[in-house]
Amino acid sequence: MKYSLLIILLLLTSTAQGSYCSGKNWQDAYQFYTHNIDLLNGHIDRYNVLLNKMNSSAVNEGEQQLLAAKLAIEELDQLNVDVEKLDAKFDNTQQLWQLISEHCFDDDELDYNNKAIENARGADIGRREVNDLLSRIENIRVRFFQVVENKNN
């Protein structure tokens, strides 16, 4: 969160850069955007590992299955926390691209304006992917809780 606010503040306060539709701002916004995409992809990979654990825990029996389910719930809880942080980052990324888009439009840089709008839409898609992943995490978490509940009964 601090990183995203710092970038936005730098863009808003930097008058030495001239236009906000500059190469430096584009580079900063693009790096922030791709960093968030990389984080999302890493979280998706973590989710897939946990999903594989779910499938393999069905093969295990007794205490092994119970232990695997409890560990997976802990990992899912941490993954959920990490993924929730991305929602705000994608929101900040979208706002940053919208700001750049507005300045490119004001500077009559219509091609750059259109590309910045496209990037803002990409950030919105990233935020939707985050929400989808959060939903999937909750679904698999419920399934692991059912395993624990069934083993405890």
Q: What is the DSSP string of 56-77?
A: HHTTS-HHHHHHHHHHHHHHHH
Residue 135 lies in domain: 32-152
The answer as to whether 14 is a domain residue is: no
Q: How far apart are CA 144 and CA 138, in angstroms?
A: 10
Q: Which of these ranges, 62-71, 86-95, 112-121, has the smallest mean pLDDT?
A: 62-71
Structure-block tokens of residue 98 = 């919208």
The answer as to whether 51 is a domain residue is: yes
Number of domains in the chain: 1
The answer as to whether 108 is a domain residue is: yes
- pLDDT of residue 9 exceeding 50, the answer is no
The answer as to whether 67 is a domain residue is: yes
pLDDT at 12: 47
In the chain, DSSP assigns E strands to: none
The answer as to whether 21 is a domain residue is: no
The answer as to whether 27 is a domain residue is: no
Decide: pTM greater than 0.85.
no
The answer as to whether 5 is a domain residue is: no
CB distance 72 to 144 below 8 Å: yes
The answer as to whether 126 is a domain residue is: yes
